[in-house]
């Protein structure tokens, strides 16, 4: 038990030490003048950026084994120590430390006490087994799979695999030595670093209490505490964003261009940690350019320096995505970088799902500040005083803070959840406290009030139901006096499902699930229904199995005078409402009422989504080609017969969900449906106004659906009772070609017994 | 230099669009209906089935470790019907001595989707079985059928005031 309890601390300590060492070594090389209070936070975060890139290289080389990672960590620490001991010549020139005396500043003890109390709470929570949804889901699942493979490999069935993993690269090192709980401790270190950086900023502007009060405003904020003590990345993003701002201030004050290397690296790392952090790159570029222009100094060199350093951090992720997934900003570039791994509609739905509220909703402030129910956590009532921050516009410091905050806030409007405001909080908090800079007691009172209002027992007294926030300190779980299994079954929805899979699905088994589970707690691959194009197609097949509206119960028949043609298109001509798709289950060609057998000589194409055109020609009632984006005029399915083919009828088998599409048949010819002859070959309409027929359904939808899954290597299904269609699987597993492997409260694992088709 | 970002964007867009446009595929293997495919038309729910509780509509006691359940006055279950012809209502239950000696003869109406299939008077206690073919017009393919029984009297425990109907073992539709 002791070993189990200490392992996360060992993994985290090694990673944190490696980050700090890397940062210290680089700062020494840069020779930038820093105050003592600035060294830990700036070195840790800058080092994290460097270590992440090294880890990326290790994963890219597929040598990510424990000995290699250990050697890497020890090597980085060793280099830093060697550098410190041997290379005095390039030691940083510490700026004159600001005057500060604990005895002359008794409120500092209060700030420190609050900080320590919350740190203990956070630390115990982080130390306990990882029980967060995203942490135990994709953040740790993906690094776990990469570690198992000792390196990167294409994961095309999980949209999160395309997210840059700047923080997760550090978590991977911690995870490999400390297991699931270690990454959260590393993340917590970012929160501590952020608080220290804000304190250091207060000292830098000559008013430590401004930094201390603002740091506490951020640090004790409920959503920050919850996030920081889990394997999330939002607080890391906040720390990185603030450090970009900080290094720019250091550069602006010192005029030492070497600081811009840190700016560029960190701005790029902000992107590598979270795509939205990319906003810091143009911010840094514009700030540097603007300040250079104001000083009548050359801006190009500086802009280039930042740009190159940022690109160094960003480009590995862009290239990895482009090579593996066909979209450098996967999954968000699906509509531009068309690829077979992600449907455009999935991103549209992902973005729509991300909006808890509309920005114009009058309840949003209440949700963000005091309820947190819909927006996934809350900031605390103290932030109702946010308008105070506007008073800081009176001075340059405040204006710069609010400008940086505004830039960092832009992504929030695309995802209205409280934790996406975390990167903005450092800027807003300092700007809030600045107007009180001559009233240190008022600043202290504000911080003390916020701490009190954020303490879990107090939160419980004024918010019901509790939002995403810390509720109590899981000390027994942290010390492993309560078993990990017992603790997670009690606290983590999705964990029992993962363990059920682990117990009943053989190694290398692939499982399909309609909804997400704690995938990092199973070594089996779990394909969640909405996570990628392949998953969505399987999801669609299963829905077709039980949902009559999605089954091909309608045939659209086009008749025209018999003619010889080589290429033919079914073209959709209507502009359908947003998110409404067009789909075709089967497309068949006839002559004299007899279907023309499909020939290997035929060539098939579709636009959009050409990769799935075969679904319209596979004779399966459980598959369909779909646009997977809003249907627009001009979308089509094309067949090239290879040679002239005589036909007089086209039948489009489709479902009632696709009834709004307006179709016509076109061919590549000189003559159109009215026998009018054009000068050159072009696409001409030969039939429209089709007849629509309702048809009785094939009885084997269910079996056909599971056959499709099996053909794609999926042999197991996890169906939870709350899943749509769950009752249908329960009702008659045999008709699905399934047998029950295991059942626990609320969930069933089925094995697909049908296996007669090939991909 | 200024044109470089634009060139990169245009090039990448062109590449991705071209990649999309040039993709042609051959006709895939043709799926065929499985020869051994015989889905169940309906189902009989045993009270110890793992998912029995999911089928209950009303008046059946929740999950126990036994293979039977006490019912109330109008027990009913729901069953998804895949075919409507040749389906038979079937039920196995017990009129226990302990209740029968107070209630005397009990008449049970057996129902399908609120249609009364039959009404049977039971003059003795003990195990009972009933089955009868269901008119297809009472059923709808791929819809839930409500299979029920209605008792004309129940026994009420004088101790706690709870009422008890029959001891149900299985109920449903078979082909």
- Give the tens place of pLDDT for each residue, A178-236: 999 999 999 999 999 999 999 999 999 999 999 999 999 999 999 999 999 999 999 99
Whether the per-residue pLDDT at A528 is higher than 80: the answer is yes
A vs B, Cβ pairs < 8 A, gives 100
- Neighbour count for residue A491 (Cβ, 10 Å): 15
Q: Which of A636-640, B44-48, B76-80 has the highest mean pLDDT?
A: A636-640
Interchain proximity A721–B142, CB inside 8 Å? no
Of A328, A603, A700, the CB nearest to B33: A700
Of all residues in chain A, what percent carry a pLDDT higher than 90?
80
Which is nearest to A592 in space by CA: A646, A530, A513, A518? Answer: A646
Q: How confident is the model at residue A677 (pLDDT cuts 50, 70, 90)?
A: confident
Q: Which of A41-50, A78-87, A740-749 has the highest mean pLDDT?
A: A41-50
Contact A42, A25 (CB under 8 A): no
Contact B33, B165 (CB under 8 A): no
Once rounded to an integer, what is the mean pLDDT over residues A374-399?
Answer: 93
Q: How confident is the model at residue B2 (pLDDT cuts 50, 70, 90)?
A: very low
pLDDT digits (tens, 9 = 90+) for A413-456: 878 889 999 999 999 999 999 999 999 999 999 999 999 999 99
Apex B81 CA angle, B80 and B84, nearest 5: 165
User: Which whole-number Å values give the CA distances from A238 to A177, A336, A707, in the listed order?
Assistant: 26, 29, 47
Once rounded to an integer, what is the mean pLDDT over residues A652-678?
Answer: 86
pLDDT digits (tens, 9 = 90+) for B3-48: 545 555 555 555 555 455 578 999 999 998 877 666 677 788 888 8
Once rounded to an integer, what is the mean pLDDT over residues A577-601?
Answer: 95
Query: In terms of DSSP bridges, do strands A716-720 and A510-513 run parallel, antiparallel, or are they unpaired?
Result: parallel
- Asked if B40 has any chain A CB less than 8 Å from its own CB, the reply is yes
Which is nearest to A651 in space by CA: A634, A633, A639, A669? Answer: A639
Whether the per-residue pLDDT at A753 is higher than 90: the answer is no
CA B118 to mean position of chain CA atoms: 21
Interchain proximity B19–A548, CB inside 8 Å? no
User: Which whole-number Å values give the CA distances from A537 to A199, A363, A712, A720, A752, in the listed order?
Assistant: 51, 37, 11, 19, 17
Output the pLDDT for position A105. 81
Output the pLDDT for position A63. 97
Of B24, B26, B54, the CB nearest to A600: B26
Which is nearest to A174 in space by CA: A52, A273, A312? Answer: A52
Interchain proximity A698–B33, CB inside 8 Å? yes
User: Which whole-number Å values give the CA distances from A413 to A269, A277, A418, in the listed order?
Assistant: 22, 14, 11
**ipTM of this predicted structure:** 0.83
Once rounded to an integer, what is the mean pLDDT over residues A57-67?
Answer: 97
Structure tokens at A614: 């075969």
Q: Higher model confidence: residue B67 or residue A62?
A: A62
Q: How confident is the model at residue B1 (pLDDT cuts 50, 70, 90)?
A: very low
Residues 627-686 of A with CB under 8 A from B: 640
SS3 content of chain A, % helix, strand, coil (to 5): 55, 15, 30
Separation between Cα atoms, residue A19 and residue A490, nearest integer Å: 34
Contact A509, A524 (CB under 8 A): yes
Separation between Cα atoms, residue A270 and residue A250, nearest integer Å: 18
Whether the per-residue pLDDT at A60 is higher than 80: the answer is yes
DSSP annotation string for B34-70: -TT----S--EEETTSTTHHHHEEEEE----SSS-EE
Whether the per-residue pLDDT at A599 is higher than 70: the answer is yes
Over chain A, what is the mean pLDDT?
A: 92
Interchain proximity B26–A604, CB inside 8 Å? yes
Which is nearest to A9 in space by CA: A152, A163, A144, A189? Answer: A189
- Torsional sign, CA A731, A736, A739, A743: negative
Output the pLDDT for position A32. 87
- Asked if A619 has any chain B CB less than 8 Å from its own CB, the reply is yes
pTM of the entire predicted model: 0.84
Output the pLDDT for position A93. 53
Q: Higher model confidence: residue A579 or residue A77?
A: A77
Q: How confident is the model at residue A262 (pLDDT cuts 50, 70, 90)?
A: very high
Specify the range with the lowest mean pLDDT, choosing from A73-77, A173-177, A297-301, B91-95.
A297-301
Output the pLDDT for position A725. 86
Output the pLDDT for position A366. 87
Interchain proximity B29–A754, CB inside 8 Å? no
Whether the per-residue pLDDT at A566 is higher than 70: the answer is yes
Cβ-Cβ contacts under 8 Å for A43 (sequence gap 6 or more): A20, A23, A24, A27
Contact A83, A25 (CB under 8 A): yes
Apex A215 CA angle, A219 and A267, nearest 5: 90
Output the pLDDT for position B14. 52
Specify the range with the lowest mean pLDDT, choosing from A105-114, A122-131, A352-361, B46-55.
A352-361
Whether the per-residue pLDDT at A678 is higher than 70: the answer is yes
DSSP annotation string for A195-247: HHHHHHHHHHTT-HHHHHHHHHHHHT-HHHHHHHTTT-SHHHHHHHHHHHHHH
- Neighbour count for residue A688 (Cβ, 10 Å): 15
Interchain proximity A337–B12, CB inside 8 Å? yes
- Neighbour count for residue A249 (Cβ, 10 Å): 20
Once rounded to an integer, what is the mean pLDDT over residues A701-729?
Answer: 92
3-state SS of A537-552 is HHHHHHHHHHCHHHCC
Interchain proximity B54–A339, CB inside 8 Å? no
Helix and strand totals (H; E) in chain A? 27, 15
Output the pLDDT for position A90. 46
Over chain B, what is the mean pLDDT?
A: 85
Distance spanning both ends of chain B, measured CA to CA: 78
- CA of B79: which chain A residue's CA is closest? A731
């Amino acid at each position: 038990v002791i070993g189990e309890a200490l392992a996360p601390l060992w993994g985290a300590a090694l990673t944190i030490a490696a980050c700090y060492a890397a940062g210290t070594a680089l700062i020494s090389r840069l020779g930038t003048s820093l105050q003592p209070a600035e060294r830990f936070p700036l070195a840790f975060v800058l080092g994290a950026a460097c270590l992440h890139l090294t880890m990326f290289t290790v994963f890219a080389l597929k040598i990510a084994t424990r000995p290699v990672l250990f050697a890497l960590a020890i090597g980085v620490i060793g280099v830093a120590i060697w550098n410190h001991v041997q290379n005095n010549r390039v030691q940083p020139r510490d700026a004159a430390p600001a005057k500060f005396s604990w005895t002359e500043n008794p409120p500092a003890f209060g700030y420190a006490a609050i900080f320590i109390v919350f740190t203990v709470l956070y630390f115990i929570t982080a130390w306990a087994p990882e029980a967060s949804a995203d942490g135990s889901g994709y953040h740790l699942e993906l690094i776990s799979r990469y570690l198992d493979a000792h390196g990167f490999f294409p994961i095309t069935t999980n949209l999160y695999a395309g997210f840059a993993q700047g923080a997760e690269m550090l978590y991977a090192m911690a995870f490999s030595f400390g297991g699931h709980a270690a990454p959260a401790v590393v993340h917590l270190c970012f929160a501590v670093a952020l608080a220290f950086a804000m304190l250091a900023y207060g000292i830098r502007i000559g008013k430590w209490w401004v930094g201390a009060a603002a740091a506490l405003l951020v640090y004790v904020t409920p959503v920050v505490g919850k996030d920081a003590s889990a394997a999330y990345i939002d607080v890391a993003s906040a720390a990185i964003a603030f450090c970009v701002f900080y290094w720019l201030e250091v550069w602006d004050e010192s005029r030492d261009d070497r600081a811009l290397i840190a700016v560029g690296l960190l701005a790029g790392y902000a992107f590598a940690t979270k795509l939205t952090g990319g906003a810091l790159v143009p911010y840094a570029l514009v700030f540097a350019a603007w300040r250079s222009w104001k000083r009548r100094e050359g801006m190009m060199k500086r802009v280039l320096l930042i740009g190159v350093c940022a690109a160094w951090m960003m480009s590995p992720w862009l290239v990895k995505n482009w090579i593996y997934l066909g979209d450098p900003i996967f999954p968000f570039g699906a509509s531009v970088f068309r690829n077979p791994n992600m449907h455009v509609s999935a991103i549209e739905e992902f973005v729509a799902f991300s909006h808890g509220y509309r920005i114009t909703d009058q309840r949003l402030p209440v949700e963000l500040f005091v309820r947190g129910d819909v927006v996934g956590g809350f900031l605390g009532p103290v932030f109702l005083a946010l308008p105070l921050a506007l008073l800081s516009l009176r001075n340059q410091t405040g204006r710069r803070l609010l400008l940086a905050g505004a830039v960092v806030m832009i992504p929030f409007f695309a995802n209205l959840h409280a934790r996406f405001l975390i990167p903005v909080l450092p800027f807003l908090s300092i700007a809030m406290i600045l107007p009180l800079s001559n009233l240190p007691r008022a600043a202290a009172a504000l911080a003390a009030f916020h701490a009190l209002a954020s303490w879990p027992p107090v939160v419980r007294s004024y918010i019901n139901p509790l939002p995403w926030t810390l509720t109590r300190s899981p000390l027994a779980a942290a010390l492993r006096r309560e078993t990990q299994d017992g603790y997670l079954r009690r606290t983590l929805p999705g964990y029992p499902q993962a363990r059920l899979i682990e117990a009943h699905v053989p190694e290398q088994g692939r499982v399909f699930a309609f909804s997400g589970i704690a995938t990092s707690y199973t070594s089996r691959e779990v394909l969640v229904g909405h996570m990628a194009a392949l998953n969505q197609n399987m999801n669609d097949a299963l829905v077709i199995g039980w949902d009559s509206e999605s089954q091909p119960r309608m045939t659209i028949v086009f008749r025209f005078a018999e003619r010889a043609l080589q290429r033919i298109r079914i073209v959709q001509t209507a502009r359908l409402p947003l998110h409404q798709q067009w789909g075709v289950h089967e497309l068949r060609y006839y002559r004299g009422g007899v279907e023309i057998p499909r020939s290997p000589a035929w060539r098939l194409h579709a636009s959009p989504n050409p990769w799935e055109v075969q679904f319209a020609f596979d004779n399966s009632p459980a598959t369909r080609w779909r646009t997977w984006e809003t249907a627009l005029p001009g979308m089509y399915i094309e067949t090239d017969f290879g040679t002239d083919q005589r036909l007089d009828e086209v039948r489009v088998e489709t479902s009632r969900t696709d009834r709004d599409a307006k179709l016509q048949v076109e061919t590549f010819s000189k003559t159109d449906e009215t026998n009018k002859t054009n000068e050159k070959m072009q696409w001409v309409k030969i039939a429209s106004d089709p007849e629509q027929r309702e048809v009785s359904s094939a009885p084997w939808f269910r079996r056909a659906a599971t056959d499709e899954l099996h053909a794609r290597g999926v042999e197991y299904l996890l169906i939870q009772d709350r899943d749509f269609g769950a009752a249908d699987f329960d009702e008659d597993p045999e008709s699905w070609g399934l047998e029950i492997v295991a059942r626990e409260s609320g969930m069933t694992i089925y094995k697909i017994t049908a296996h007669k088709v090939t991909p | 230099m200024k044109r470089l970002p634009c060139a990169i964007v245009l090039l990448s867009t062109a590449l991705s669009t071209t990649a999309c446009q040039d993709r042609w595929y051959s006709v895939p293997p043709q799926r065929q209906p499985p020869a051994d495919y015989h889905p169940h038309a309906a189902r009989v729910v045993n009270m110890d089935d793992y998912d029995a509780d999911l089928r209950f509509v009303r008046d059946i006691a929740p999950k126990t470790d036994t293979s039977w359940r006490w019912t109330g006055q109008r027990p009913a279950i729901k069953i998804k019907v895949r075919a409507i012809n040749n389906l038979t209502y079937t039920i196995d239950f017990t009129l226990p001595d302990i209740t029968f000696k107070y209630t005397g003869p009990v008449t049970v109406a057996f129902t399908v989707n609120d249609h009364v299939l039959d009404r049977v008077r039971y003059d003795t206690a003990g195990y009972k079985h009933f089955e009868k073919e269901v008119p297809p017009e009472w059923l709808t393919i791929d819809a839930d059928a409500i299979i029920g029984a209605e008792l004309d009297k129940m026994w009420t425990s004088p101790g706690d005031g709870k009422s008890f109907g029959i001891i149900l073992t299985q109920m449903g539709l078979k082909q």
